[in-house]
A and B are shown apart, each in its own frame.
Chain A
Amino acid sequence: MAKPRVRQCLHCELTLTPELYNQPAPVPCPRCHTPLLARAFPATLRQLPTGSAGELLTNAELSSCFFHPNKKAEVSCAQCGRFLCALCDLEVEGKHLCPSCLETGMKKQTMATFRTGVTRWDNIAVLLTIVPLISIAGLYFTMFTSAAALFIALWKWNSPRERLVDRGRGRMIMALILALLQLGGWAALLFFYLGRRY
């Protein structure tokens, strides 16, 4: 997908006029008549806010910032309690954090706000049970892939709960059932083979 040009029709590249915006239903492009739906909001009128540099410490009796000793402390970190100037104060979910606590939080992804992604263990387990079934040669690998899927499903049973959305265990249950069926099939085959041989 090509990167869209801002405020232009995607087909004829006509620059859009304000009349085409904030209409309740899609309106045709004046040149190519392709329907479009555009909504603009007051943020489009706003300039990006500039950050605060922090106030210089003029009185020796006042508390100073832990990271900038010559700047006045304005707030303390909600996590570690260090005093912070306006420059170091990072507000996340209503809490004031220092840069090091924010970095730690982002690394550990302890707060939902910091979570930028999760591994889809349930999908991996399902794929391990299904992908080998696509080809006949792959059937031989199901002995290993189903065991791996079973291991993942049990080891990462709670992993869907780490997601922000769609946190059901449906895929895990599906992977468990398929893996157990495949392993059961192999066990039955082995039992049948050994029974005939001895």
Chain B
Amino acid sequence: MSDPVPYRKLPGRSPTFRFGLSSAPASTLWLGPDHLLQTIQTPSREEYRRYDYRDIQEVFVQVTRRRLQVNLLLAALHGIVLGTCLLANARELAIYLIWSAPFVVGYLVNTLRGPCCQGYLLTAVGVEPLSSLARLGPARRAVDQLTTEIEQAQGRLEPATLAQHWQRSH
């Protein structure tokens, strides 16, 4: 059972706080010698999915509005907490600052981590969501590393060849 570990972790991790905005399970991506390994974690299980580099047709990442949604949710909760302080006639500024601190940290972390995005991978048999590609910066680095591995296995596809193929197939 003690196989050597030939995997290299790709940047990116699933959102820590989902606020019900994502139903995809937490996952990470690992580069193997000839395949991409996706680990899908629940509190009690870790499932594995393998995608051979030769079978991957497309990798797609697009920016979503999740960062704005999380900030708006934090603002709403912040407003409720400050409103409660006002109703309770809290006169000390320190009380507002203490109650505001976690929200300010939340805004800062969420904003500084960069735009949120959604990634997926296309093979001949289906579309697989890649929930670990949740922020654009790490997702770009992950896609670049993955592209290198896939192009080593498959070669490079020129946009002109892709355009010809799409014209023929449509």
Interface residue ranges, A against B (CB under 8 Å): 1, 3-4, 6-7, 9-11, 17-19, 21-22, 25-26, 29, 34-46, 48, 112-113, 115-120, 123-124, 127, 158, 161-167
Contact = CB atoms under 8 A, between A and B. Distances in A.
A45 B161 contact: yes
Interface string B150-170: 110011111111110110000
A116 B48 contact: yes
18 contacts: A3-B129, A4-B120, A26-B136, A35-B63, A36-B61, A37-B62, A39-B147, A41-B57, A41-B150, A43-B54, A44-B162, A44-B165, A115-B48, A117-B47, A119-B44, A161-B2, A164-B3, A165-B30
Contacts of B127: 3-4, 6
B64 interface: yes
B160 to A, nearest CB: 8
Nearest to A45: B165
B143 A164 contact: no
Contact of A43 (B57, B64, B166): B57
Given A117-B46, A120-B41, A166-B39, 9 more contacts: A1-B22, A39-B147, A41-B150, A43-B56, A43-B154, A44-B57, A127-B43, A158-B1, A165-B37
B48 A26 contact: no
Given A35-B136, A37-B143, A117 B166 contact: no
Contacts of B81: none
Interface residues of B, number: 62
B159 to A, nearest CB: 5
A156 B64 CA distance: 41
A164 to B, nearest CB: 6
A19 B159 contact: yes
Contacts of A11: 62
B18 to A, nearest CB: 10
A19 B161 CA distance: 11
Contacts of A113: 50
A41 to B, nearest CB: 5
A162 B5 CA distance: 11
Q: Which among B115, B140, B162 has the highest number of chain A CB atoms within 10 Å?
A: B162
A38 B58 contact: yes
B131 interface: yes
Q: Which among B45, B63, B131, B156 has the highest number of chain A CB atoms within 10 Å?
A: B63
Nearest to B29: A165
